[in-house]
Amino acid sequence: MHSRFRSDRRLTTRMGITLFLLGLVYVGFVAALIVLLKSWVLVVVVAAAVLGAQYWFSDRVALFAMRGRVVEREEYPDLHGVVDRLCAIADMPKPVVAVSDMDMPNAFATGRNPDHAVVCVTTGLLRRLEPAELEGVLAHELSHVAHKDVAVITVASFLGVLAGLIVRFAFYSQLFGGGRRDQNTAVVFAAVMGVSAAVYAVSFLLIRSLSRYRELAADRAAALLTGRPSALASALTKVSGDIARIPTKDLRTAQAFNAFYFTPALGREPGVARLFSTHPSLEQRLDQLGRISAELGEAAAPGGV
């Protein structure tokens, strides 16, 4: 499937490198656990089950976690109309359309491929944005689907779950499995914990780096598809400002899914933590959209906002 979203070779290259490096890390991780735990069946079965479940059911998990539900055209005709129009322009399959009943203004896309994808917006986003702004946000999310980076980030983001689950299984197998509880057991358990921590740290850095770039790539692709980068910039400014006013306690549940959102669920701009953020700063995103607007001569174009 080749959509009319402008291809991004740098994004494709980064996704390939990230998956290759993560693959090496996790092959090494699984091999180390097999050596340490002396049970390849446990390690391989759990690893395969977690990865398979995440790949096939990530869209359902994300919708459930964010209280999203699939909506039909009769219930949200305007929303479906925008998605229909963008998919026709982009020449791509229409994803499932969902709405989350949350006041936090945001949107996300998930799914294993363009034929099995979901685009979800919150009611808070629908209440706040003008039609042109909503179109920009939805084009951004559809770009993630078309470029397949949503599938890559879905698998990559949840691979860290594998480390935690295997450690937990190892712990309980030692606790209730009737094995020897001696110094050797303690050494093995400490080694498993150390390997898992190292794997998580490397994965964390690789995924954050890819996530920041893919958000800039999606902004760029959406602006070029719609021809209205200023509308997307307006949506970014509005959504980021409104999220900053939502109490942090109300954002905590959503923060686990920051890598998937249009803008991160943060109460304020991070300081040093920006280096580990899932998204580039608002200033970076607006600067890029400003350059695209100048290139397109949008200010002089009819209908510019």
Instruction: Extract the annotated binding site for Zn(2+).
Output: 140, 144, 215
Question: What is d(CA 132, CA 110) in angstroms, rounded to the nearest whole number?
Answer: 23
b/e 271-285 (16+ beta carbons within 10 angstroms → b): eeeeeebbbbebeeb
Helices (H) and strands (E) in the chain, counts: 10, 4
Query: Of 27, 30, 98, whose CA–CA distance to 65 is shortest?
Result: 98
Q: Residue 118 forms beta bridges with which residues?
A: 96, 110
Active site residue 133: no
List phi, psi (to 5°) of 261. -80, 160
| Binding-site residue ranges | 140, 144, 215
Question: What is d(CA 250, CA 256) in angstroms, rounded to the nearest whole number?
Answer: 12
* Residue among 141, 269, 283, 295 flagged as catalytic: 141
285 touches 217 (CB < 8 A): no
Per residue, the 3-state secondary structure of 199-252, as one string, reads HHHHHHHHHHHHHHHHHHHHHHHHHHHHCCHHHHHHHHHHHHHHHHCCCHHHHH
Query: Of 211, 196, 114, whose CA–CA distance to 156 is shortest?
Result: 211
* CB neighbours of residue 104 within 10 Å: 21
139 touches 117 (CB < 8 A): no
Question: What is d(CA 194, CA 197) in angstroms, rounded to the nearest whole number?
Answer: 5
134 touches 305 (CB < 8 A): no
Residue numbers annotated as active site: 141
